[in-house]
């Protein structure tokens, strides 16, 4: 089969553009470089038991308008994701179905679609707290979360539990391990799903590796503690 270089180049450009929408990285790659051990340890110490709030997102007029609102950690940077717009644009690209499939793989995971990401890099960490939203008819938070994790592939040792947020929402949380076949590395991840009248919401915390993931946990706990219907 003959492959046109222009077409390949176009596909690469499409990939770069779509990856940029999700903060300059793919779903499982939260950064290209890692700080030294001393820098990472220093950051972890600065965010020990509790993260200081850097403001609230989710409400009208905030960086991300969502069915829920929550506090983000100080210095973390939130950015909304216009997933449907990007999906529509990709589906009309020169590569047709390929572009659409690429966009779908980046902007959808199981039953939910990317809506917001909160970047930890300004706070000295490599990772994101991402928010995904779903359809109103998907009202079972546990089912949504299981499908979300199953769509990630290469996961193991899932531990689910029922949780309540500080804002009065009830949901399900999971901790698990994700193994990258490309990097041959395994790291911790976790996610929380709640049901709202406007549909389910999933908060997902990744990180470049387990060390970064654990250093960012105070920010995740801050979001969970303040999570409420917007």
Answer whether residue 169 shows pLDDT above 70.
yes
96 is a domain residue? no
Question: Closest by alpha carbon to 40, among 171, 167, 213, 184?
Answer: 213
92 is a domain residue? no
Query: CA gyration radius for the chain?
Result: 18
* Tens of pLDDT, residues 100-156: 677 777 899 999 999 999 999 999 999 999 999 999 999 999 999 999 999 998 999
Average pLDDT, integer, range 60-84: 95
∠ CA 13-19-24, rounded to 5°: 115
What's the pLDDT score for residue 105? 74
What's the pLDDT score for residue 95? 53
62 is a domain residue? yes
d(C-alpha 61, C-alpha 56), whole Å: 11
Q: What is the pTM of this model?
A: 0.78
128 is a domain residue? yes
222 is a domain residue? yes
What's the pLDDT score for residue 42? 41
178 is a domain residue? yes
CATH of the domain at 133: 3.40.1000.10
6 is a domain residue? no
In DSSP terms, 13 is beta-bridged to: none
Average pLDDT, integer, range 2-17: 35
Residue range(s) defining the domain that contains residue 207? 33-82+110-229
d(C-alpha 89, C-alpha 18), whole Å: 10
Average pLDDT, the chain: 81
Number of domains in the chain: 1
Read out DSSP for 206-219?
Answer: --SSHHHHHHTHHH
d(C-alpha 174, C-alpha 172), whole Å: 7
190 is a domain residue? yes
**What are phi and psi for residue 6, nearest 5 degrees?**
-60, -40
């Amino acid at each position: 089969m003959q492959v046109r270089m222009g077409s390949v180049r176009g596909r690469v450009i499409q990939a770069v553009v779509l990856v940029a929408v999700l903060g300059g990285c793919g779903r499982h790659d939260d950064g290209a470089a890692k700080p030294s051990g001393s820098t990472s340890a220093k950051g972890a110490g600065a965010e020990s038991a509790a993260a200081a709030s850097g403001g609230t997102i989710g409400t009208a007029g905030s960086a991300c308008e969502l069915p829920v609102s929550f506090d983000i950690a100080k210095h973390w940077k939130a950015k909304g994701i216009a997933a449907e717009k990007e999906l529509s644009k990709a589906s009309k690209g020169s590569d047709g179905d390929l572009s659409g499939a690429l966009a779908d793989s980046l902007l959808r995971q199981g039953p939910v679609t990317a809506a917001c990401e909160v970047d930890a890099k300004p706070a000295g960490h490599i990772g994101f707290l991402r928010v995904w939203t779903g359809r109103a008819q998907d009202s079972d938070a546990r089912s949504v979360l299981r499908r979300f994790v199953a769509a990630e592939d290469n996961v193991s040792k899932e531990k689910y539990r029922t949780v309540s947020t500080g804002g009065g929402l009830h949901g399900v949380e999971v901790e698990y391990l994700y193994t990258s076949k490309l990097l041959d590395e395994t790291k911790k991840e976790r996610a929380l799903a709640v049901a709202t009248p406007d549909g389910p919401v999933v908060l997902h915390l990744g990180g470049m590796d387990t060390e970064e993931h654990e250093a960012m946990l105070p920010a995740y706990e801050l979001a969970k503690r303040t999570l409420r219907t917007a």
